[in-house]
Amino acid sequence: MPLVAGVDSSTQSTKVEVRDADDGSLVATGRAPHPPTSPPRSEQDPAAWWSAFEAAWAEAGEPVVGALSVAGQQHGMVVLDAAGAVVRPAKLWNDTESAPDASWLAKQLPGGAEAWADACGSVPVAAFTITKLSWLHRVEPEAWARLDRVVLPHDWLTSRFTGRFVTDRGDASGTGYWSPAQGAYRWDLLAIVDRDRDWTTAVPEVLGPTGAAGTWHGAVVGPGTGDNMAAALGVGLRRGDVVISLGTSGTVYALSEAPTADGSGAVAGFADASGRFLPLVCTLNATKVTDAAARLLGVDHGAFDALALAAPAGSGGLTLLPYLDGERTPNRPRATGVLAGLRSDVSREAFARAAVEGVVCGLLDGLEALAAQAPTGGRVLLVGGGARSAAFRRVVADLLGREVEVPGGGEHVALGACVQAAAVLHGVDPLDVAASWGLGAGEVLEPGPAASDADAVRAAYRARRDAEQ
């Protein structure tokens, strides 16, 4: 029985899953935390990721596996010197200090945002690696002078396993300087940041979906990928399906057979980890919003859910714009949260539900933008930590007005990394592995009576969103 391991290195922790390579059954798990961060500056020492992996691997029993793959938080920036040493703490995807650089970069191509979307599938925002490179060039010239390589979080971890600097097309597509449509780096975009540097030696080789990065203790190491790309594998995403992911941040994405380019910037035109494409909308604020609301109410998650479900749809007139730490979609990096409609008779229940509805309304706005770029008529899959919340499940189904499925399988990013590892081990399409493992099935929720109020709830949210522009 060959085993494979999937490593999920997220913003908050490292998770390891060990599975049977043939049927996907779970054999062992491990988990270890990362140092906490708080935007606008969100940085971590990459050494903490490796330490967390070692702790999680030990908790999983230090298994003997045939293959291993790493899925990491997307975007980010790890800068290395000529000796391969980390120059400064890694800037993470949710660090918004490069927001001015994103605005500047968007103006540097003739044609602006549309030209960027055509060039690399996406319009630059503060999350993207290219904006963080611009920030480093502008703010820390001494660190810039030491830069020999720039890699993504999952690339750095893969290099610790193999000694090679490689990446995959899924994670590369979130840099802002690799084109999913062309399948190649765009040196002209990197030259906007620094025209005097030879960028061809500074970025990692892009491996194919089943390419081997090397070996570690006898295990083949896959190319790895970004967390959203791995989660798509972990739920067996098919063409037309939509994933709504409720983590610290929120994402909505779909599988596409063709590359996408949204000049409005709402939809990022990413590649996936199987050779296809993954148009995606991301919001910075999801379960962090309900975590903050629960803290203010002095309750745990279960009690918070009960409060939110006890309030009527529309939260008694309360509307929360959940931009607690700035926002990416819409692009408002300096925004803060807004609670509107507050009256003296406000209830704890209404406040709890307003927090949930605010997060969900923002993600459903993203789904509408996504539907203009890719097929979205298939299953709606709800994943992430927030998918365990009864309140989030109910509000998503009611405001969407469609059947929602909550897949089983636990940690879908780590599971997707296991899928990739098995695909590399067996030399087959990762989607075929996901299908053979039967991934994606789970509990199905139908819209309830409150679905009749969905239009009014979403209209109130849009009105408040537009008023705060």
What value, to the nearest 5°, has the Cα angle with vertex 272 and ends 278 and 113? 50
Amino acid found at 217: H
Separation of alpha carbons 423 and 4, rounded Å: 10
Q: Which two tokens stand for residue 388?
A: 């365990």
Q: Of residues 95, 168, 227, 365, which has the active-site annotation?
A: 227
Separation of alpha carbons 322 and 327, rounded Å: 9
Pairing label, strands 205-207, 166-168: parallel
CB-based contact 239:255 (threshold 8 Å): yes
Helix (H, G, I), strand (E, B) or coil at 97: coil
Helix (H) or strand (E) holding 144: helix 141-146
Residues in the chain: 469
Separation of alpha carbons 353 and 351, rounded Å: 6
Active site residue 291: no
Separation of alpha carbons 435 and 56, rounded Å: 28
Strand partners, 221: 68, 214
Separation of alpha carbons 54 and 56, rounded Å: 6
Separation of alpha carbons 78 and 256, rounded Å: 29
Separation of alpha carbons 281 and 268, rounded Å: 6
Q: Extract the runs of DSSP E, i.e. beta strands, from 75-163.
A: 78-80, 90-91, 149-151
Catalytic residues: 227
